[in-house]
Amino acid sequence: MPASPEHGARLAAQVAELVADAELVILRRVRDRLAAGMDAPAWAETKLAELQQLRAALTADLAALDADLAVAVNETIRRAYTTGQAIAVGDLDDAGVRPGLPAAQLQSVRTISADVLAIVRGASPVALRAAADAYQEVVARASSSVLLGAQTRVQAAQSALDDLLGRGITGFRDTAGRNWTLESYVEMATRTGAGRAAISGHLDTLAASGQDLFYPIPGPRACPSCDAWAGKVLSISGGTTSVVADGRRVDVTPRDVATADGHLFGPNCRCSTGIYLPGITVPNVERPDPAGYEAGQEQRRLERGVREWKRREVLALTPEAARSARLKVSDWQARVRDHLDAHTDLRRAPRREQIRSAR
Ligand SMILES: [Zn+2]
């Protein structure tokens, strides 16, 4: 069975949930502060005077989130690494090789956790700025005299709130310049780290058991960083340059060469690794389990729908808006349940358990 970053997606979803919960706390704070004294003539002035207080409260919320994330990310990376190890042990058992224990296990987990946390911690100042900016913008839009001719202050504030924060706290950019929401940004960083950890656990264990060769298996979707390496044989140590399999010479590339410059297992990669045993393994270059992958993606899409309407409920300034958002939440939750009923494997068994490498 191959070790796959796709496994990391499952673990990262739990971290994303933590972020989604914290985001609701932040949105509620912004909404409550805006809603207080909305009928007062000096509402806009009061709200701008309260900005510093709001910022202080949001800073504390984000510090609490950072502390929770430090624990959750470490645990996620450790579990991903251990899973990679367990998969390697299964591979080695099947091959009749006695599994060894990697010496650098703790160090690998620490390094990857630190990398993920460095990215995740950078999100807090961006989130603080985005929430404070949205607050000021809502005040500006809801106190504009032109607007108040047609709309009441509450209506104007509601449409500004939905517009600015209905999709969550945004404004995150990755190194490739793509935009993310707070939740998707943290989820992406954690998923990438967990994928790296699963592959490290797999390859470290193979190496500790005297196995130097593996091959990349293309992910469940096209992967710009790995597709060129599909089916190629790689050396973990870089010490093997070729092997003979079934009487034919097979070229072997050092792993470090393949992974240099974000090539193999680059950003957003969900590909897998498999043990390569000369003369026994026929590298499998088919994308594993695309149907299961699609079902998982659909599940995440439906879950995002639930969270979108939970945010809208929190942002509601009137009982009517809250009620209609609640109905939408139930609606999307029912769709998630239907989807899970139709795909019973989605929660019960990790999808990767269905993946079989060609051996
Ligand atoms: Zn890939």
Euclidean distance between the first and the last CA atom of the chain, given in angstroms as a whole number = 9
Query: Pick from 1, 7, 8: which is nearest to 188 by CA?
Result: 8
Question: 232 CA to middle of ligand 1, Å?
Answer: 13
Question: 267 CA to middle of ligand 1, Å?
Answer: 8
Quote the pLDDT of residue 2.
Answer: 55
Question: 6 CA to middle of ligand 1, Å?
Answer: 10
Amino acid identity at 319: P
Question: 90 CA to middle of ligand 1, Å?
Answer: 22
Residue 8 and residue 80 in contact, taking contact as beta carbons nearer than 8 Å: yes
The pLDDT tens digits for 240-295 are: 999 999 899 999 999 999 998 768 988 778 888 999 999 988 888 888 777 888 88
Question: 182 CA to middle of ligand 1, Å?
Answer: 24
Quote the pLDDT of residue 218.
Answer: 84
Element (DSSP H or E) covering residue 26: helix 6-35
Quote the pLDDT of residue 63.
Answer: 97
Query: Pick from 303, 286, 288: which is nearest to 347 by CA?
Result: 303
Burial environment of residue 210 by CB neighbours within 10 A (0 to 12, 13 to 18, 19 or more): exposed
Question: 77 CA to middle of ligand 1, Å?
Answer: 19
Question: 258 CA to middle of ligand 1, Å?
Answer: 11
Question: 266 CA to middle of ligand 1, Å?
Answer: 6
Query: Pick from 214, 182, 238, 203: which is nearest to 23 by CA?
Result: 182
Question: 9 CA to middle of ligand 1, Å?
Answer: 14
Q: Where are the domains of the chain?
A: 1-210, 212-287, 289-359
Quote the pLDDT of residue 353.
Answer: 31
Question: 269 CA to middle of ligand 1, Å?
Answer: 4
Torsion of CA 210, 216, 220, 221, to 10 degrees: 160
Report pTM. 0.86
Reduced to 3 states, what is the DSSP secondary structure of residue 3?
strand
Low-confidence ranges of the chain (pLDDT < 50): 348-359
CA distance 293 to 240: 34
Question: 12 CA to middle of ligand 1, Å?
Answer: 17
CA distance 229 to 233: 8
**What letters, b where the CB count within 10 A reaches 16 and e where it falls short, cover 296-308?**
bebbeebbbbbbb
Question: 113 CA to middle of ligand 1, Å?
Answer: 20
Element (DSSP H or E) covering residue 180: strand 179-181
Quote the pLDDT of residue 45.
Answer: 95
Tell me the CA distances in angstroms from 313 to 20, 51, 134, 249, one per residue in order: 14, 23, 17, 63
Quote the pLDDT of residue 355.
Answer: 31
Question: 229 CA to middle of ligand 1, Å?
Answer: 9
Residue 104 and residue 204 in contact, taking contact as beta carbons nearer than 8 Å: yes
Q: Which two tokens stand for residue 282?
A: 């026929």
Q: Which two tokens stand for residue 239?
A: 């010490």
Reduced to 3 states, what is the DSSP secondary structure of residue 246?
coil
Quote the pLDDT of residue 82.
Answer: 93
> Could you tell me the sign of the dihedral formed by the alpha carbons of 312, 313, 315, 319, in that order?
positive
CA distance 62 to 30: 13
Tell me the CA distances in angstroms from 65 to 45, 74, 233, one per residue in order: 30, 14, 42
Question: 68 CA to middle of ligand 1, Å?
Answer: 29
Quote the pLDDT of residue 293.
Answer: 82
Quote the pLDDT of residue 349.
Answer: 31
